[in-house]
Amino acid sequence: MVSGFILAFSLVALIRFGILYCRGILLRAAELPVSEEVRAAAHLSGEEITGRDFAALEGVHSLTPGGSSGVTLVKAYYRAVKLVGAIGRTQAACAAWAEREMAICARYVGVQIDGRLQMSFAEQAGQI
């Protein structure tokens, strides 16, 4: 009985650590700037990238070398947060949290596009 409790507690702690670790990676990447080229390719008009820009950025990401791979978990997290935001839209704090999290996901995808384009340009420059 005690060993089962320890196992369950350890699994919950491991899962929680994994979620927080992945969120930390998202936050760190989302702090980086997104280039004007990516903004233009995604037809983003605003100064700030918001959660509503996720679909446009995801579409551009799928056109980069490597295809749509690399943002599957972020896409799942975005959808989960969007669902929570829709359920809790009557709560201002929940809706604001969901919008912030969705914007982080969108900025992460924008940074990933920049990284892929920079790697592609570097490879092309090395081949010349």
Tens-digit pLDDT profile for residues 26-66: 889 888 988 888 898 889 887 888 889 999 999 899 888 87
Pairwise CA distance, residues 38 & 80, whole Å: 25
DSSP for 1-45, written as a single string:
-HHHHHHHHHHHHHHHHHHHHHHHHHHHHHTSPPPHHHHHHTT--
Work out how many domains the chain is built from and give that number: 1
Pairwise CA distance, residues 30 & 110, whole Å: 8
What number is the average pLDDT over the span 1-22? Answer: 92
Q: Which residue range forms the structural domain that includes residue 60?
A: 2-127
Q: What is the pTM of this model?
A: 0.83
